[in-house]
Chain A
């Protein structure tokens, strides 16, 4: 399998890249790691007329702290996120999630920008970004805007990214010290997309949950924030009845397709199971970090 023909461009800077995307129009695609796009091109499910390869735009790489936020360049690979001491310290949820993505070879190439920008409901980082209250930095010629991860996903492979825009980075508010977080992903084998997955970020005070955010992966056309599940546990000591309500809320909001990963009923059920496990592990993580 070989991709269809395309014009190839390798800009050196963000300005040059967004200039190319603007002038080449709707048939141009940005190429990051390519591990979503190239397989689609080989299957001829995507046939862009132009690829704008970001590999030489070194400004798009790296993880840095800016005040109360972490800013991660779009071309930072998942392997780099896993290896980051800064993230291990401030935001361990991100490396934890990346370890559940694909396999070592793919994590060496695939990027945070590609994972969050292409709108594949199977991708793991979008739900995590929503949970964390992250925003995406979108550049175009003559301007930049920021879109909240919670507002970015409109449907499968459909996002708020406009023509001529490039997602250049992700801005994540550093969660409070002592927060707990977990990503629970049920998959058939190492490297698979989720049958169901739940991301949880919470804080605990005196044994009670004080804040919570919960989002689901691959259980609908977009990542799903489940505010009702979060509301079910805030103010509680995570007793059985509260966990049951949170799991039920996650199952209720899930709208998965039936596929090789399971029936609709099964996937809705395990959405609740993953939510329950993620809450408990996040709480244990919070308690461990606040000691």
Chain B
């Protein structure tokens, strides 16, 4: 048939991986740039601006929804949930109406945006001076070496945030086998590690309609594969638990499904916590059919819509979207408990006892909810709101029963350009909040680094480090030993910024980010920095290394970097227009030393490195490369074909 032939012929027509990466990076960058808003929008938003100012003037920042353990956002019956959901059902709209006015492209607007970007880059920062006044330099020593997660393992682990809580990735190893999930093709490969690796099995684990965003866990002899199944009807997050007792023939043990797209997951012991976002199709809601407006779960011991009592409705939610949190046991494949919260999720933080879900509400307020987790049981404890938006999971931390947050606050200010064009400029500043276990604010620093936004955060016990950026990169250190009186104790300004900060041995903090022009703020190539934090009040950049390529997956995914202090290895992939490289550095005698620069050529979406014993493995799409960990001379290279 012509139709099928035509579809098949088009299968080969695909953008190159490099182009995809470039566009994704562009999307990421542009999203973070202040955009001028058209005149009409400004008028519509005036009330919102007023509200913003009101918040800015009043010093009360946190609105706590709860007093004690009692949760104010009470559990509902199905009918109550329906009435909450109903407010989102839009009035009848035809296909024509929906498209109307959407995409009539205003060419001038596009040009203006580019000009404006330029403008930001060249413009000086008038508010710079006020940074200094906030810095209350005080000498303080911390002996807390938190994050000393790097022991002398015989094999590497996925980079995680919290010790004892594993995070999913595409490559896992148990020291004997390497498990590699190719999320684009939905193929699980099991490779026997060694000087000449052997492909044990090649299993298609997920079907074609699976989204290419998938990850997995390795628990004992079980592989847990997570991903989203997009169908025309509904999106489902799918869990597949494979037994890999026989590596040559992995077997499916259990299948579980929950509504929504895969958002994030954590594994503590053999308990899987899986979080998905479920956007309701507001056009298909039926009052007498709960399945159309609450999430559903299909699992060995449960099937159908979630129980009404496990659903909570956040009174401030702004969109018809559920956050579904389920606890599963990997050993039995059973659902242990589930919780659904109407209101979206943006950032997930998980410690061994708590899950923090942070979601954007509106007017630059983030809703925070705390769930206590224990052996698969999930219980909503309290909710609150904080000002500003969070960067990523590293912006949240739990320490000694308190929760710490670093946010960027956007205040909208109406401006007029020289040619009379009115736009709304977002003026940012940053804040750090300390909340207790009831999510009540007990301490805060506000107005940090006006006009900049947070690029990376790392909490290490009593000290917090974070980087803000506009032209130069101040690395702030904050003393949190008295949670009620957090103090900025140091600020180091260097060109460029770090996207991630990793503790690297005693008194050292490794930053990976990008270089930037001090004058214009234009970003350049990938840059490694080593900060000396032995005296948090006087942090210095003790070494830096500027790479020749301008993109690395490690800039937005902390799992793509392998920073192992025990083995003294800092490994990640970089790419530019022509090829991909895998970089291996060590840090000796106060400087970075390049151990290897492996040119992989071609285009790959994700490259991972790992070591087992004395061999270092690089996995890039269908290839595995084996190197000697001491000399980095190539041992072998293999094509992993099924």
A, B assembled together: no
Chain B contact residues, CB within 8 Å of chain A: none
